[in-house]
Amino acid sequence: MIARRGRAAWAVIAFACAACATAKPAPGTLAPRQSVALACSSQHTSDGWVNCALAHMTLRDKVAQMVWPQLYGDYVSGDAPAWRRLSSLVREQHVGGLIMSIGSPLEIAAKLNALQSMSDLPLLVSADLEAGTGFRARGGYFLPNAIDLGGAVWFPPEMALGATGDTTLAREQGRATATEGRAIGITIDFSPVLDVNNNPANPVINTRSFGEVPESVAAMGVAYMHGIEAGGMIPTGKHFPGHGDTGVNSHLALPVVNASRARLDTVELVPFRAAINAGVGAIMTFHGAMPSLDSSGVPGTLSPLVLTGLLRDQLHFKGLIVTDAMDMRGVLDLFGAPEAMQRAVAAGADVLLMPADVPHAIDAVVQGVESGRYTAARIAESARRILALKWRLGLERARLVNLDSARAIVGDSAHQALAAQIAERSITLVKDSLGQVPLGRLSRGARVLSVTYAHRSDLGAGVTFDAELRRTFPSLRSEYVNADEASPDYWHLLSVADSADVVVVSSYLAAGSTVSDLSAPQGFVQFVNELVQRGAHPVVVALGNPYLLQQVSEVPAYLIAWSGAPVSQRAAARALIGAAPISGRLPISIPPLASVGAGLARGIVTATTSATTP
């Protein structure tokens, strides 16, 4: 994503979005109705305001509260088709909330202010902030120079917190995330991830989870949740009843978890029970089937046995049930959009997230009432939960954010320091059979080769890592391998490695919504193994998938940094050169090579112990 820079750009954004607030509705849209907010402005209690609002809303209005479209924090002009569509969803369709995707902080804040201003009732704004507000709210990179435009604080992922073993850090990350998120108008955080990642082949959860030990995931998740609440935001546990033991990406197909109910009770459900008992405000559903819970084969999102029978009746969850994105193949392939919408509501969902066609989604849910599939009272029940959250967050009194205040909060130096602390505490040295780490024992003149393996779209891969290494090794040579190429020139790299004192190979391959297989290509694996065979003694650093060691098990040194975020890159480099201690412990096992809790400790290499001739 490319974003604009400077104060002038921010001023333009604020002015443009203010103009958006006065744009006229598109022709052919729904007729305006009496202002619910105005009719209920005299109400001064939650029950009074919610009851008043419900009394003034049509069935379609109540359904619209349940449908939350996605938007981007990009700049658009007031007459752009994208803006006209979005403003129509707020003004004419009366959607109750939004899910914010990527954008720079002040662009997000200005756009949300404009949308809140044109909405009759205040909007709930959600976002996936699993690795901090900077996970979504950053300016991206300016091309062709790959200049990082900065933004909110981007923390390491949850598994990095798991590697620290420190629930206090988890709470503080949650608090910092919520503080920054609220400053730009986001009110619901779709985290913590409470999935127990007990399947190394999981292509979509992976480092998004705190780990594979249910009790540890529960403790970290509850601490993180309390931090989010302390920062003034609603946390969301996901993906119920558990997305950890899957080898299929629910964005691409329907996963099936063939675990017994007894196993689910002792593994997958443990963190969710803990979060519910601690009062978590929202739960997001899993687009996957669990035959032991529902033998029909439908995903949990569409199953009354899962959402109502288990979550509501057995676990006594009283908060908001949010579906995972309703444009994902895990639900669409089986039934299509209209049927999937109706099934989710019949199952017990309160919020239908990211439908591809918002008006049609609203119409489909209304038709479910008209056909007798569920009652109008069932719709009012969900609308009531949504409205009650708006009151709880104070949005009926103050729905806009102050852009000047946002600049004083977002990216705060204390939050940056916290992210750096978590990243450094998380670095885990799984293997060092030759005692190579830290590399700071080498002289400044050592010939160090750094090989970055990443997808071309990952513009930041290796940039911070190599820059930090170069501070200690000025003659560092950087090489880049594009993971999207079918046949990279590994022979060139091997020839360069022959003259190096140390070869550091960093992999940025990570789980994600488009990933179906986390395995590294065989060509890359053969390259690393060839380095071993030639006696190059490579140090492999995993800044993505931590299970990579399973494919390159012969390497003498293996370090995990958990993500390619700049803060994690810097922490990995500092640990590698001995500028920071190494203390992380695996919150997962890497079968059959390392067990939970494994990790070698290393201290700081001081000036008196460094600078040894290679």
- Read off the amino acid at residue 234: I
Distance CA 613, CA 486 (A): 39
In this structure, what DSSP letter does residue 538 have?
P
What region does 423 belong to: left with phi over 0, alpha with psi -120 to 50, or beta? Answer: alpha
Would you state the pLDDT for residue 173? 98
Q: How many CA atoms lie within 13 A of 395 on its CB side?
A: 31
Q: Which amino acid is at 210?
A: F
* 439-496 tens-digit pLDDT: 988 888 899 999 999 999 898 999 999 999 999 999 999 999 999 998 999 999 999 9
List residues bridging with 283 in a β-sheet: 237, 321
Percent of the chain with pLDDT over 70: 93
Q: What is the pTM (predicted TM-score) of this model?
A: 0.91
Q: What is the reported pLDDT for 115?
A: 97
33 confidence band (pLDDT: 50, 70, 90): low
Query: Residue 147: what pLDDT?
Result: 74
| Token representation of residue 200 | 């190394």
560, β-bridge pairs: 428, 542
Give me the pLDDT at residue 606, please. Answer: 66
pLDDT at 443: 86
In 3-state terms, what secondary structure has residue 322?
A: strand
- Residue 324 annotated to the active site: yes
Say if strands 557-560 and 428-432 run parallel, antiparallel, or are unpaired.
antiparallel
Task: Identify the top-confidence range among 16-25, 49-58, 250-259.
Answer: 49-58
pLDDT of residue 196: 98
* Mean pLDDT value across residues 516-533: 93
pLDDT tens sequence across 187-225: 999 999 999 999 999 988 999 999 999 999 999 999 999
pLDDT band for 352, please (50, 70, 90 cuts): very high
In the DSSP assignment, the letter for residue 231 is T
**Which range, of 136-145, 381-390, 493-502, averages the lowest pLDDT?**
136-145
Cα 444-448-451 angle, rounded to 5 deg: 145
Q: What residue ranges define each of the domains in the chain, with the CATH number in brackets?
A: 1-20+68-187+394-410 (3.20.20.300), 194-392 (3.20.20.300), 427-577 (3.40.50.1700)
Mapped onto helix, strand or coil, the DSSP state of residue 482 is strand
Hey, which bits of 111-221 come out as E strands? 124-127, 141-142, 147-148, 188-189
Structure confidence by residue, pLDDT tens digits, 270-293: 999 999 999 999 999 999 999 999
Does residue 607 carry a pLDDT above 50?
no
Give the H/E segment covering residue 478.
Answer: strand 477-482
Per-residue pLDDT at 587 exceeds 50 = yes
Six token digits for residue 130: 């699993």
Picking from 28-32, 106-110, 328-332, 445-449, which range would have the lowest pLDDT averaged per residue? 28-32
Q: How far apart are CA 565 and CA 542, in angstroms?
A: 12
Q: Could you give phi then psi for residue 262, rounded to 5 degrees?
A: -65, -40
The residue type at 235:
P
How high is the pLDDT of residue 326? 94
Q: How many CB atoms lie within 10 A of CB 457?
A: 9
Peptide bond preceding 81 in cis form (omega within 30 of 0): no
pLDDT tops 70 at residue 5: no
Q: Catalytic: which of 61, 74, 189, 324?
A: 324
